[in-house]
Amino acid sequence: MKRRRQFRLLAALWIVVVLPFVTLFGDGADASERHEGYYYPESVTEEHYVSQAQKIPAATRESRLAFVSGVAKSVSERPYPPQRAMFAKGGDAEKLIIVSLYDNHMTTLAQARAILALMTGVARTTKILRDLQVESVFNFLDFCKMLGFTELTISDGRTYAHRFVLE
């Protein structure tokens, strides 16, 4: 009984005194790590994508959010429900996340890459990319780099997540 009381006292002390300092002064998890296990599974594979595209000077947090909204609008105008969610995260909306909304959809990395290839056409219809008149040689990952995204994480929402670090 006495031990249980001591344990509770130590736990309370930890929560009230130590935890706030760890949160404020600790090295903290980077934004990607905070998203793991919440938006997509925790085990994330990663690759570096070296793009020939350059970040455009007009690339801001607002332009990245407008891009995501433009793609979402395009998808919502279809006669069937969206198959995946796409959203920007990070303090500067620099991390793009795409997650399947259905089981047995985008279950492999190859299927996810095919989805990204299809999304190239959708991305070209957004106002920001139409205004830029981008070359047809660029793909979805290139568009992300141009808009200032630093990474794209794609997931089936259940079994895997794969991150493209955009360079």
Residue-wise pLDDT for 65-75, tens only, equals 999 998 888 88
Q: What is the pLDDT of residue 130?
A: 81
Residue-wise pLDDT for 37-57, tens only, equals 888 999 899 999 999 999 999
The helix (H) or strand (E) run that includes residue 155 is strand 151-155
Rounded Cα distance between 36 and 86, Å, is 15
- Mean pLDDT of all residues in the chain? 81
Q: What are phi and psi of 54, to 5 degrees?
A: -110, 150
Is residue 128 within 8 A of residue 66, CB to CB? The reply is: yes
Instruction: Give yes or no for residue 59 having a pLDDT over 80.
Output: yes
pTM of the model: 0.76
The helix (H) or strand (E) run that includes residue 47 is strand 44-49
Instruction: Give yes or no for residue 34 having a pLDDT over 80.
Output: no
Instruction: Give yes or no for residue 83 having a pLDDT over 70.
Output: yes
